Amino acid sequence: MFLVKMCILNGFTLAALLFIVASGLTLSFSLMRVVNLSHGAFYLAGGFVGLSVLNASGSWLLAIGVAGIAIAVLALVEERFFLRWARGNDLIETLVSLSIAIIIGDLVLVIWGGYPKTIKIPEMLSGAVEIPILVVYYPVYRLFMLAMALVLGGGLWLFLKKTNLGITIRAGVDNFNMVAALGFNVKRIFTMVFALSGFLAGAAGVVGGTLMMLVVGEDWRILTLTLIVIIIGGLGSLIGTAVGALITGLAYSFATAYIPEFSLFILFLPVAVILSIRPQGLFGKEAA
């Protein structure tokens, strides 16, 4: 029974991390229809940038902010100078983002080396507390990460539902051509959304690097899990991203605990089942 409780808690906290990472990719994927394969590299680079900032300043919050801004600038450069000219050509966009991901991975290896590193948990978030309902002790940082995902989800929901830019993004998901025809500066919106996506990936790198190790290769694992989340949840749906993260997190947690030799099979099984029933995902809409 204890193992079941821990699997549930670990599944929820892994889902929180996956949601934080996938929320950025959801924004760029939704409006721009670009499967940005460099998103995992953004996560990894953000984690190492945050690690360097933390070592220099001692501030974990500053590390998150600087890492987010640094990767936002990197994402802006990628969109402005590499992806914009290939707009509409899915193959070229995929190859460009894949090439950039490989380049970033190599640069990370050159600058920070190939040895695994972790970001120290802030003093105020260290230790464990008892969860009365489950009668178990659980790390404070993991609970903080869960709360952070909830706050981020609420903030993104308000952004998409209550701001002019958010409304435009949702309109672009439903009918891309209509948004352009109404006179909106689609190129500028693309750049803003892509930069925001990069910021979230960079910040997630610090959050995730505090929970797990930072090492070259982790970017591809995170990217795979993130794509699974979006495929399950559906294109352009923030709620779908949350549900997809929850399904993926719980499946991965239970599979690695009980049948680790079949963990990949269990991880991809929901993808196959859901797509066979709803090719657009649980909450996704058909692209206009």
Q: What is the CA radius of gyration of the chain?
A: 19
pLDDT in tens, 108-144: 999 998 889 989 999 888 888 888 887 888 999 999 9
Instruction: Quote the pTM value.
Output: 0.90
Q: Is residue 238 part of a domain?
A: no
Q: Is residue 272 part of a domain?
A: no
Q: Is residue 170 part of a domain?
A: yes
Q: Is residue 252 part of a domain?
A: no
Is pLDDT of 233 > 70?
yes
* Count of domains observed in the chain: 1
pLDDT in tens, 34-77: 778 899 999 999 999 999 999 999 899 999 999 999 999 999 99
Is pLDDT of 1 > 90?
no
Longest dimension (CA), the chain: 58
Residue 11 tokens, joined: 């599944």
Q: How far is CA 217 from CA 106, 200, 224, in A?
A: 10, 20, 11
Report how far residue 214's alpha carbon sits from residue 206's, in angstroms, rounded to the nearest whole number.
Answer: 9
Q: Is residue 109 part of a domain?
A: yes
Q: For the chain, give the mean pLDDT.
A: 86
Q: Is residue 108 part of a domain?
A: yes
Query: Domain of 164?
Result: 19-217
Instruction: Classify 287 as helix, strand or coil.
Output: coil
Q: Is residue 245 part of a domain?
A: no
What percent of the chain clears pLDDT 70, i.e. is strictly above it? 91
Q: Is residue 155 part of a domain?
A: yes
What percent of the chain clears pLDDT 90, i.e. is strictly above it? 39
